[in-house]
Structure 1
């Protein structure tokens, strides 16, 4: 009996010690207000210098986004770089995967980098890894010895084709981003950037970043003992393929812009210097008006200190509490919702489908599209990337997308109620979800840096 009690006591102490260890070094450590300085800098003035042969096109619709990816992959002659937070082995993953394997069979070199948290060594990925022309890497494998690595996420979402085309935005590779019949369907936005005559500067920068990721100590090349036999996934692509999609029309109708600059975060662990958002800050310094779209909005002490826009006229576009699928971020948003609505204009989409897009308009001629949310994680913890596009015409095209969302949104008053709009019906919020989020907001207020 005494032996059993002693064993239970040892087990209890061990578990409590482990939980305390993970809590301190996996969560509390990020409350230390220190960001490691970075050599990575961007000159915002250079982003506003006019260049030739720069084109951009917005991809808003789900099927368009998938068809565009397939068309781009088909264009590859030498190299494809794929850097994604998530690459699911579902229907969309197998369609894209089937075409990637086909291109690899044609001697196109392919690099795939995904965040470790959502990496699964499925049969599709084993086939990728076995192919001699495909390298698969996973970013930051979790270690109990370094629990803080869990928050060093690869949150980028882009694909490059040779040195000519790149597609960047908020979409991962997974059915909910491309198929209306999928569970948790979500809207999103990508932007295609390219040059017609020469190598594209933004694409070159993304390729350089991909090489830096590959050589980073946080990235591991995956291996398998399986030998590559044949492309069993080609039928997924062939069964989906629709030659009615006119890629050349997309190229012909793309907007000629003045400048496209790729910007991104440093790679270091712990709190990063917010290089990407420092750049946004610099770009906004000479403008009074901003429009910011983010799936959710949370604010930490560090964000308040470093990014105060009290003198700016800002319009926020985000999801309503009723439709936002991220409970932790939504709970953080609940705490600041009324204050945000007091200081700025806040529009909440009442559409039945959540929007995952992350885009910013600054003044009359700057548009930014990428992976960045308005939260502490995107500012300081995750790798993030975006393109800054200098062009009044493109800025107006993005603004038209914003206007369509605002037309289905309601303006939040400072008391938390909606301004009456007879043309927009309030998305119903289940009482159980409201209670859960309220309770969760009290808890999450202690860990704003994790939201």
Structure 2
């Protein structure tokens, strides 16, 4: 390689690294200044006649989504961080396809980087787009000459049906989250909202947020390039998907989906901005304001990695009896996030009561409890990515029944204590990884 070429490659690599890491690092510092001036404030909730249920199990989580899709008569709107190329992904996609075939308008919005149909299963995209009622868009992803947009991630997991039913969750669509009777379970939860009033405030706010995401400047619409290829793709996809659907029906045979819906005294909806590349920390600002009231009792987050601008607000963990439940080194599946958590762990233990999960599988719950009735559930992790880089949402509810249900589940997780196996090597790897990853996010 010529000397001039080496220089060009070096300059290109430097520009890529600086735009991918240094640009967001500077923007996060700038936008995080609002977190330095946190004042105690409880969320402003609206009265609503909507009824709400929480589902914290796993085996019927896919069935919950299938039943919601099958009841649709007019439209379905979906946002998903990841739809995997496995049985759960095929069953979910087939249900959406069948809805479009019976006349339902389907809009599917996926995260650009985790859009798993782009390469090995491109035919699945063509099979869905072959239906005129089916639209697919992707949010963000790596675009030419704009490498910093790799950090712009759609992390919401929403399912909206006919303005009457909504599901917000932390679950991705994949076997690890939805398929019954497999090892390595990922534990998560769904909040399900139902109403007969199409003007109900919570679902209406969720619809408005979906429309903001769908029309964001980072969104790319997918197109069917050939009707012939679309028909061929359906002929290839449907037998495989129908086989997976049949297998799933056999797995849950004899089981029924039991949900307990409760009235709520108040509802609210938090989300990050849809139109910003590096996000203003809307959710973090509201959550830290609530934390400053001293009323937050439990926080559940799979990853606990704070940016330095969040530190002042998180000092309230020391002032009030708030407990934070997160994964342990034995249960965390995310090496990068946990490696940064280990770097901050001394500070965490000094300023708050950390409860590490030592049970079966891993925790993927995102939520919190406050007061005697307050509940927050959604996609937001208490980490710097969810605070500044990802689209996120949290549903807020006032309900004694839902509060007590979630609290009982948290205490059950706390009571699980399985012996950890082969964690020493994992911790050493994560500690070494933390030394590399940690400086890029300017966390200290």
TM-score, normalized by the shorter chain, greater than 0.5 = yes
Is 1:106–2:99 an aligned residue pair?
no
Q: Secondary structure at the match of 2:158?
A: strand
Which of residues 73, 79, 83 is equivalent to 1:83?
Answer: 79
Which of residues 27, 31, 47 is equivalent to 2:25?
Answer: 31
Specify the alignment match of 2:11 in structure 1.
17
Given that residues 360 and 418 in structure 2 are in contact (C-alpha distance below 8 angstroms), is that contact kept between their aligned partners in structure 1?
Answer: no
1:429: Cα distance to partner?
4.0
Number of residue pairs matched by the alignment: 422
1:108: Cα distance to partner?
0.3
Distance in structure 2 (CA, Å) of the matches to 1:125 and 1:203: 28
Specify the alignment match of 1:70 in structure 2.
66
Specify the alignment match of 2:37 in structure 1.
none
Equivalent positions of 1:230-249 (< 5 A) are: 232=238, 233-241=241-249, 244=254, 246=256, 249=258
Q: What's the TM-score, normalizing by structure 1?
A: 0.87
Structure 1 307/301 Cα, relative in aligned 2: closer, same or farther at 3 Å? same
CA offsets, 1:210-252, max 9 Å, x none? Answer: 22222221101101223243572345435534675545x52xx
Given that residues 54 and 194 in structure 1 are in contact (C-alpha distance below 8 angstroms), is that contact kept between their aligned partners in structure 2?
Answer: yes
Given that residues 54 and 258 in structure 1 are in contact (C-alpha distance below 8 angstroms), is that contact kept between their aligned partners in structure 2?
Answer: no
RMSD: 2.5
1:90: Cα distance to partner?
1.4
1:48: Cα distance to partner?
3.6
1:24: Cα distance to partner?
0.8
Equivalent positions of 1:29-428 (< 5 A) are: 29-32=23-26, 33-35=29-31, 47-51=44-48, 53-119=49-115, 120-121=117-118, 122=121, 123-180=123-180, 184-227=184-227, 228-229=230-231, 232=238, 233-241=241-249, 244=254, 246=256, 249-250=258-259, 253-309=260-316, 310-408=318-416, 424-428=417-421
Q: Secondary structure at the match of 1:313?
A: coil
Structure 1 9/440 Cα, relative in aligned 2: closer, same or farther at 3 Å? same
Q: Secondary structure at the match of 2:377?
A: strand
1:36: Cα distance to partner?
9.1
CA offsets, 1:261-313, max 9 Å, x none? Answer: 22210024443221112222333443344311111211221111455424222
Structure 1 243/193 Cα, relative in aligned 2: closer, same or farther at 3 Å? farther
Distance in structure 2 (CA, Å) of the matches to 1:125 and 1:192: 28
Structure 1 69/386 Cα, relative in aligned 2: closer, same or farther at 3 Å? same
Distance in structure 2 (CA, Å) of the matches to 1:89 and 1:244: 27
1:129: Cα distance to partner?
1.9
Q: Secondary structure at the match of 1:166?
A: strand
Distance in structure 1 (CA, Å) of the matches to 2:103 and 2:442: 44
Distance in structure 1 (CA, Å) of the matches to 2:262 and 2:187: 22
Q: Secondary structure at the match of 1:203?
A: helix
> What stretches of structure 2 of length at least 5 have no aligned partner?
35-40
Structure 1 209/266 Cα, relative in aligned 2: closer, same or farther at 3 Å? same
Given that residues 22 and 147 in structure 1 are in contact (C-alpha distance below 8 angstroms), is that contact kept between their aligned partners in structure 2?
Answer: yes
Q: Secondary structure at the match of 1:62?
A: coil
Distance in structure 2 (CA, Å) of the matches to 1:183 and 1:26: 36
Structure 1 240/429 Cα, relative in aligned 2: closer, same or farther at 3 Å? closer
1:69: Cα distance to partner?
0.5
Distance in structure 2 (CA, Å) of the matches to 1:90 and 1:209: 29
Given that residues 307 and 443 in structure 2 are in contact (C-alpha distance below 8 angstroms), is that contact kept between their aligned partners in structure 1?
Answer: no
1:153: Cα distance to partner?
0.5
Given that residues 319 and 349 in structure 1 are in contact (C-alpha distance below 8 angstroms), is that contact kept between their aligned partners in structure 2?
Answer: yes
